[in-house]
Structure 1
């Protein structure tokens, strides 16, 4: 494809389409991106981005990877790592070098790669891509501790793996006589001195700039973007790819600074990262040559088997001895290590360079990396959920509901859902109210739901829906607005009187969906509970469908949600929810169900029969008494 603009447009459209399809199919997006890249590139020859982009290819890939790693660093808060800091340190400091060493040995003796290629490949494969781990963790819904370990390892190991590869490559150049050893040592020391202190200084400077109001809101994201590109480029002038470490440190520094706008900045970076990852993986895969793929032989199968089943598990088990993890957590972390965009990008960079300077199997390193990326994405992507379930390391096997505000209404609602084994939790900052929920044996969280502590201690992956039901309508709106980007705009609901005047009504762009239509206030729901309204669960069958259900309930009954046979929850207030079908279990809220007419007839008949029997018994007793008196 000769038109570069059309090629970029096609890559962007295909990348986002792949992300959407992966979301619909509930599979890792990188699986589809890999297939699309192979189709566009080596399978059809439709495009070859490495040749088409020319000299822009390497700096564009390097800059994109730096932005991806910075966004990953923005998600790492030190509060989250308190429980797993020891394990993460061990995995990074001990497991990383072990993986490097053992992978290099496997690449040379099993994969038949030359020592320079094997050593650099071993360094590259230290990384465990955050662009793959993050979507997997969202789908698998792991418990907090193993999820935290995998996330921190992925972010921290990526720049370190790239740095290991740079040092290996520069060492090879020194041994080949292309560089002097003194220059290498000086460059490495200088690069690290710039990367770590420089990343911290840049992160703190931006945090100070944003928190003091020295930058307007509309310029914060562009300033951040430009700073990331600049810091990456400055460090790369000293040592190639060392800028990845700089931007990662910079992201972590900003994540732990108290910046009011950090959430908005993080969401902007997530959007940019999704676009970059989608396009970048297609670009890198499409640049793979067919003759390199054909060069793969049986040796690659043996290499993959050793890396997957020996190198990674052994390194993690050794590194986590005495780290406070259970054997189940060590087994899960030892198995899950998918490689992603950074491994492919760094391998592509150094593989092409090795080939250019005369190392004949440099391109095979690219093919080996792609083979491992594909294998880990498929094996780890599709096994994480079942393995976590088998090891009991999932936070919840079913989608749950988070209630904000403890009241008789939410407690009764939560108890009904809990009886159907739906995970529920009630959060409230009022101790007396939360005590009532505890007495009702409902799981609770005491504290301010909008606090930083709540964001770090509450595992929101357990909940697919949220109901804000406090006695303050404006506060309910604020809660829904804050949690909507994380839980989903169509999955947050609130109570309240939505019939207010235009002067008092909330803007339609904020808040959640009304749980009731028409809306009901906190006081109204309290009065209904006092009047005897209850929650009922009714399963629909072929004989007893939704129409029949509606006929047998009082007119004022509200259908709040229904539970599908697949255990997913569908709230009636959600857009496009439709109607419940056969096999669904309806949760309704209404007055006690009146007796059916047939029940009344049966009850009246039974009463009449019992009255006649009682009259006959008394007549018999009276007759017997008369006979006895006559005798």
Structure 2
């Protein structure tokens, strides 16, 4: 029996991995967040460039690849979050993930409704996707921009928590939008259902992995490698189990498992962390390049001046308002509050979920809302593209101008 190998697909994967490693190398050399180079590489091989990658070449595997990749990325970010650091962090974190998130949600929906003329369904769906700043983008920024620990913790925690809740909120709204039969209590139930399933699954998987690492005796030379592989498996398995029960519960499961394991007394912790960071960089490179390759400039240009106005309102008015309200009396200087305000790029989760929603809206029979699908995808990708290129690409310069970079002295 012969085994058929798709050499074109192998070459494509090799090219994407090669571009990802190159982007990481350039990011380290020039001290610029890697996502900027990843976006450029993705656009270059996408339909707007060399047309090597398109939505057809990605096929239905896109959502699966992105889902598992995001699980690994979110797990790694949550693993590095220490409970004591979060507990002792400024009150700003609590406000950013509650009051701030609510302000961002309703403010974004109103902006999209007024400036783009979207239906309320689409406006709220866009708002849910754009509530969160992405840990997939924040992490590379903080890797090259050294700021005070309280500032870094606030940005990372906001990104991880809001990424989870925003993804669940978006899937609940989409379900309600397509079913058209949910009562108000139904929204709360669906949200709690997915969040609860994710947290429960994450805790169980974390407990199993902790037991295997700490209670099962292994040869000394095999123990570090086994610990690394078990933690990687924890991210993927927690995501797969929870997501197979309720869509989008997997992200909450991965975050819970990562945070729980990261705060348990694990042997070989530093080895695990270094391994996870390396895997995350590779996965981050792959997913960002593929998603950037799916950007169609025609859909972005179709939004016109109104689309740019939406981006301006969200980044220059709404985000600073949310941050300044949330950080009032939180121990941050004005310069630090401005830095948090102007470093709020969106990441992979909204891009992947928006792509999934758009495909479903177009492919239903008859199509549910093809015009709404284009507006949804165009708006989300435009905000991601601008915030990643400007806010992530120039984060170090923004920090330098505001004088918030910490020195090693």
Give the TM-score normalised by the residue count of structure 1: 0.59
Q: 1:499-518 CA deviation, whole Å, 9 max, x = no partner?
A: xxxxxxxxxxxxxxxxxxxx
Gaps in structure 2 of 5+ consecutive residues: 1-5
Q: What residue in structure 2 maps to residue 127 of structure 1?
A: 132
Q: CA RMSD in A?
A: 2.3
Instruction: Give distance in 2, aligned partners of 1:310 and 1:181.
Output: 30
- Residues 128 and 338 of structure 1 are in contact (CA less than 8 Å); yes or no, is this contact kept in structure 2? yes
Q: What residue in structure 2 maps to residue 43 of structure 1?
A: 48
Instruction: Give distance in 2, aligned partners of 1:381 and 1:228.
Output: 26
Matched, 1:211 2:227: no
- Tell me the CA shift for residue 123 of structure 1: 0.8
How many residues matched?
396
Q: What residue in structure 2 maps to residue 296 of structure 1?
A: 303
Matched, 1:56 2:87: no
Change in CA separation of 1:105 and 1:386 when aligned onto 2, cut-off 3 Å:
same
Instruction: Give distance in 2, aligned partners of 1:184 and 1:137.
Output: 35
Aligned residue runs from structure 1 range 238-253, under 5 A: 238-253=245-260
Q: What residue in structure 2 maps to residue 362 of structure 1?
A: 373
- Residues 167 and 353 of structure 2 are in contact (CA less than 8 Å); yes or no, is this contact kept in structure 1? yes
Q: What residue in structure 1 maps to residue 399 of structure 2?
A: 388
Instruction: Give distance in 2, aligned partners of 1:377 and 1:341.
Output: 11
Aligned residue runs from structure 1 range 516-595, under 5 A: none
Change in CA separation of 1:293 and 1:48 when aligned onto 2, cut-off 3 Å:
farther
Matched, 1:263 2:270: yes
Instruction: Give distance in 2, aligned partners of 1:81 and 1:182.
Output: 31
Q: What residue in structure 1 maps to residue 82 of structure 2?
A: 77
- Tell me the CA shift for residue 72 of structure 1: 0.9
Matched, 1:315 2:322: yes
One of 137, 161, 166 as aligned partner of 1:161: 166
One of 136, 141, 149 as aligned partner of 1:144: 149
Greater fraction strand: 1
SS of 2:82 mapped into structure 1? coil
One of 101, 122, 134 as aligned partner of 1:117: 122
Aligned residue runs from structure 1 range 160-559, under 5 A: 160-175=165-180, 177=181, 186-214=189-217, 216-217=222-223, 218-357=225-364, 358-359=368-369, 360-396=371-407, 400=408, 423=409
Instruction: Give distance in 2, aligned partners of 1:98 and 1:252.
Output: 26
- Residues 130 and 154 of structure 1 are in contact (CA less than 8 Å); yes or no, is this contact kept in structure 2? yes
- Tell me the CA shift for residue 248 of structure 1: 0.4
- Tell me the CA shift for residue 31 of structure 1: 1.3
Instruction: Give distance in 1, aligned partners of 2:61 and 2:183.
Output: 29
Q: 1:13-43 CA deviation, whole Å, 9 max, x = no partner?
A: 1111122122222222111111111121122
- Residues 32 and 394 of structure 2 are in contact (CA less than 8 Å); yes or no, is this contact kept in structure 1? no
Instruction: Give distance in 1, aligned partners of 2:191 and 2:163.
Output: 17
Q: 1:268-310 CA deviation, whole Å, 9 max, x = no partner?
A: 1111111111111111111233532342311111001100011
- Tell me the CA shift for residue 344 of structure 1: 1.5
Instruction: Give distance in 1, aligned partners of 2:287 and 2:8.
Output: 18
Instruction: Give distance in 2, aligned partners of 1:346 and 1:185.
Output: 20
Q: 1:567-612 CA deviation, whole Å, 9 max, x = no partner?
A: xxxxxxxxxxxxxxxxxxxxxxxxxxxxxxxxxxxxxxxxxxxxxx
Greater fraction helix: 2
Instruction: Give distance in 2, aligned partners of 1:257 and 1:48.
Output: 42
Matched, 1:17 2:22: yes
SS of 1:110 mapped into structure 2? helix
Change in CA separation of 1:109 and 1:2 when aligned onto 2, cut-off 3 Å:
farther
Give the TM-score normalised by the residue count of structure 2: 0.89
Higher RCO (C-alpha 8 Å, min separation 6): 2
- Residues 206 and 234 of structure 2 are in contact (CA less than 8 Å); yes or no, is this contact kept in structure 1? no
Q: What residue in structure 2 maps to residue 465 of structure 1?
A: none
Gaps in structure 1 of 5+ consecutive residues: 401-422, 424-631
- Tell me the CA shift for residue 2 of structure 1: 8.4
Which of the two has higher C-alpha Rg?
A: 1
Change in CA separation of 1:247 and 1:39 when aligned onto 2, cut-off 3 Å:
same
Instruction: Give distance in 2, aligned partners of 1:2 and 1:119.
Output: 42
Instruction: Give distance in 2, aligned partners of 1:4 and 1:65.
Output: 22
- Residues 90 and 150 of structure 2 are in contact (CA less than 8 Å); yes or no, is this contact kept in structure 1? no
